[in-house]
C-alpha cells in the first residue's frame, strides 16, 4: 500500500457525478491485475492471460482488504481488482452496490481532520472512477477558498482531571475550505474561513487520547467573529457516517450516524441524503431504542429494516417512516445480516455455546439452517446474498485473527473459499 493522503484512485477521475441511469463502465485494460495474495491459485495449465477483462458488475463481489482498500472479485475467486485505496492510517468499509450496479457506496475515514465527521460516506464507479464524497452536511465537495471570507477567533481547551488546558498544535478545519490551520499557544487561533453558514472543527491528540470539538456559525463577508472557548472532549464532534445503503431509484442513500460521548455507548440514528450531498434529513431516531448496525432496504416493497437489541427487528415504510412489521430473530449476532431477493433475510443465530448458525428466514417466516460453525472454526462477521439468492458470501474470522471470504450454497450449505489473504472482509454482492 502506498503512503498517500486520503483516498487515491487507480483510474483517472472524471468530472461530475454522472447520471444514475448510466450503464456501468467497461473496466479499462490498464487496470491492475489479480493481486497475488487474493483468490485461489490458478488451475494447473491455465494461462493467466486468458482471464476475461470484460467487466460484468452482476458477476462481481465488492469487498474490503486490510480495512482500507476497496476491491472487487469474481465469485470464482479470479480477477480481483483494487478500485479505491486509502492511506495506511485511513479506514474503509461497508461497501454497497446501487440498484443498477452503476455505483458502489462505502464509508471511509479519509481526510478525517478536514471533515466534520470522523468517517464519511463516499461513492465511486465500479471501475474506481468518479469518486465523490457524500457527507457531511450541507453539501459535500464545495470549496469556497477563493470567495468572500470572514475571520473567526477563539481558543480550544480540553477539560482534563487537573482542569482546563489550552490545546496547542491542534488542527482547525472549516466547512467549504480545503485548508487546515493549527492552534497556537494556549489553544488560541484566528483564521480566515469562507463567508457562509459554516462549521468549524478542532481536533488533535494529547497524551495519546484524541480530543475534538466543533461549533457552527453564519458568517458574513469581512466579519470578525469571536467564538470564545471551544471545549474539546474525547470523541466530541466526530460523528461517523456508516453502513450506507441505497434508496429505490439510486438517487439517495440511507446511512447510520454514530455519535460518541466520552462515557457512553454510541448513539445511533438513521439518516437519508441525496448522493450529491444535499437534502440531509433524519429517518429514524429513538434514544430509548437505538438500532444495531446498519439498515437494509427492500427496493421492491420500499421499506427499511432495522435490527435492535434482544434479537428484535422492525420494517419501516420509506414514505411514512413508521414501523409496519416486527420480527423476532432470537439469540443472534448483532448487526450481522443481509437482505436477499424476495424478502429473504440471512442472519447468524447463536446457541448456548456461542456456536454460530447461518440462518435464512424466508418471507413466509420459516427458518432454514444453512451453515454451522463451532467456536474453534471461527465467526461470521459480515455477509451478503448473490443476486439470484442461491448463494451467500460470508466473511469468516478465525480465532487466529485471519479474515477471509467464502461462498456458501443456500441449498446444500457447501462452503468454498473466495480469498485466502487473511485480510479480506465486508462483502457486498446483491446490494446489502
What pLDDT, in 10s, does the model give residues 340-349?
Answer: 988 899 999 9
CA 243 to chain centre: 5
Fold of the CATH domain 329-432:
Neuraminidase (2.120.10)
Band (pLDDT 50/70/90 cuts) for residue 155 is very high
What are 82-127's pLDDT values in tens digits? 999 876 678 999 999 999 899 999 999 988 878 888 899 999 999 8
> At a CB cut-off of 8 Å and minimum separation 6, what does 52 contact?
79
Give the whole-angstrom CA distance, residue 70 versus residue 56: 17
User: Residue 106 in contact with residue 95, Cβ under 8 Å?
Assistant: yes
Query: Where do we find the cell 424476495?
Result: 342
Exposure on the CB side of residue 23, measured as CA atoms within 13 A: 6
Length of the chain counted residue by residue: 432
- Whether the model pTM is above 0.75: yes
> At a CB cut-off of 8 Å and minimum separation 6, what does 427 contact?
61, 62, 63, 382, 383, 384, 393, 394, 395, 405
Bond into 138 cis (ω within 30): yes
Fold of the CATH domain 149-234:
Immunoglobulin-like (2.60.40)
Q: In what order do the strands lie in the sheet with 292-298?
A: 292-298, 303-307, 312-317, 323-328
Residue range 141-156: mean pLDDT, rounded:
77
Neighbouring CB atoms inside 10 A of 251's CB total 14
At residue 352, φ and ψ (nearest 5 deg) are -65, -20
Burial 357-379 (b: 16+ CB within 10 A, else e): bbbbbeeeeeeeebbebeeeebb
Q: Check residue 104 and give its pLDDT.
A: 96
Say yes or no to pLDDT of 147 above 50: yes
Residue 306 region by backbone torsions, left for phi larger than 0, else alpha for psi between -120 and 50, else beta: beta
What are 252-294's pLDDT values in tens digits? 999 999 986 544 566 889 999 999 888 899 999 998 999 998 9
Return residue ranges of the chain for CATH 2.60.40.10.
149-234
User: Residue 101 in contact with residue 57, Cβ under 8 Å?
Assistant: yes
Give the whole-angstrom CA distance, residue 329 versus residue 339: 14
Q: Check residue 86 and give its pLDDT.
A: 74
What are 381-418's pLDDT values in tens digits? 999 999 999 999 999 999 999 999 999 999 999 999 99
What are 212-256's pLDDT values in tens digits? 888 888 888 888 889 999 999 886 667 899 999 999 999 999 999
Give the whole-angstrom CA distance, residue 380 versus residue 399: 11
Task: Return mean pLDDT, the chain.
Answer: 82
Q: Check residue 43 and give its pLDDT.
A: 27
Q: Check residue 14 and give its pLDDT.
A: 34
Q: In what order do the strands lie in the sheet with 424-428?
A: 7-9, 81-86, 69-73, 61-65, 424-428
Return residue ranges of the chain for CATH 2.120.10.30.
329-432
Amino acid at each position: 500500500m502506498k503512503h498517500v493522503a486520503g483516498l487515491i484512485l487507480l483510474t483517472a477521475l472524471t468530472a461530475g457525478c454522472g447520471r444514475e441511469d448510466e450503464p456501468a463502465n467497461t473496466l479499462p485494460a490498464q487496470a491492475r491485475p489479480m493481486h497475488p495474495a487474493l483468490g485461489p491459485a490458478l488451475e494447473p495449465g491455465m494461462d493467466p492471460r486468458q482471464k476475461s477483462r470484460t467487466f460484468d458488475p452482476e458477476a462481481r463481489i465488492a469487498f474490503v482488504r486490510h480495512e482500507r482498500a476497496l476491491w472487487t472479485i469474481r465469485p470464482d475467486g479470479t480477477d480481483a481488482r483494487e478500485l479505491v485505496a486509502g492511506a495506511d492510517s485511513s479506514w474503509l468499509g461497508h461497501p454497497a452496490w446501487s440498484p443498477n450496479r452503476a455505483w458502489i457506496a462505502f464509508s471511509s475515514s479519509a481526510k478525517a481532520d478536514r471533515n466534520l465527521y470522523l468517517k464519511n460516506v463516499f461513492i465511486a464507479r465500479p471501475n474506481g472512477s468518479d469518486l465523490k464524497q457524500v457527507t457531511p452536511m450541507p453539501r459535500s465537495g464545495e470549496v469556497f477558498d477563493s470567495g468572500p471570507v470572514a475571520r473567526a477567533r477563539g481558543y480550544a481547551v480540553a477539560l482534563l482531571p487537573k482542569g482546563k488546558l489550552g490545546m496547542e498544535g491542534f488542527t482547525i478545519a472549516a466547512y467549504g475550505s480545503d485548508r487546515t490551520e493549527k492552534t497556537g499557544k494556549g489553544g488560541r487561533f484566528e483564521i480566515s474561513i469562507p463567508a457562509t453558514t459554516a462549521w468549524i472543527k478542532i481536533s488533535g491528540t494529547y497524551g495519546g487520547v484524541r480530543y475534538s470539538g466543533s461549533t457552527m456559525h453564519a458568517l458574513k463577508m469581512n466579519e470578525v467573529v469571536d467564538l470564545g472557548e471551544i471545549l474539546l472532549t474525547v470523541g466530541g464532534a466526530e460523528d461517523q457516517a456508516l453502513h450506507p445503503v441505497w434508496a429505490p431509484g439510486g438517487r439517495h442513500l440511507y446511512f447510520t450516524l454514530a455519535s460518541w460521548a466520552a462515557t457512553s455507548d454510541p448513539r445511533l440514528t438513521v439518516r437519508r441524503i441525496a448522493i450529491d450531498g444535499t437534502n440531509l434529513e433524519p429517518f429514524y431516531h429513538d434514544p430509548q431504542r437505538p438500532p444495531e448496525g446498519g439498515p437494509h432496504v427492500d427496493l421492491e416493497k420500499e421499506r427499511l429494516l432495522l435490527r435492535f437489541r434482544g434479537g428484535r427487528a422492525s420494517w419501516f415504510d420509506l414514505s411514512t417512516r413508521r414501523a409496519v412489521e416486527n420480527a423476532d430473530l432470537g439469540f443472534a449476532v448483532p448487526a450481522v445480516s443481509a437482505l436477499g431477493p424476495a424478502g429473504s433475510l440471512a442472519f447468524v443465530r447463536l446457541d448456548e455455546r456461542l456456536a454460530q448458525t447461518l440462518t435464512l428466514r424466508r418471507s413466509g417466516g420459516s427458518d432454514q439452517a444453512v451453515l454451522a460453525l463451532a467456536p474453534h472454526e471461527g465467526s461470521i462477521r459480515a455477509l451478503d446474498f448473490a443476486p439470484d439468492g442461491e448463494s451467500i458470501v460470508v466473511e469468516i474470522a478465525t480465532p487466529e485473527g485471519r479474515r477471509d471470504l467464502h461462498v456458501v450454497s443456500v441449498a446444500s450449505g457447501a462452503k468454498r473459499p473466495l480469498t485466502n489473504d487473511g485480510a479480506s472482509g465486508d462483502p457486498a454482492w446483491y446490494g446489502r
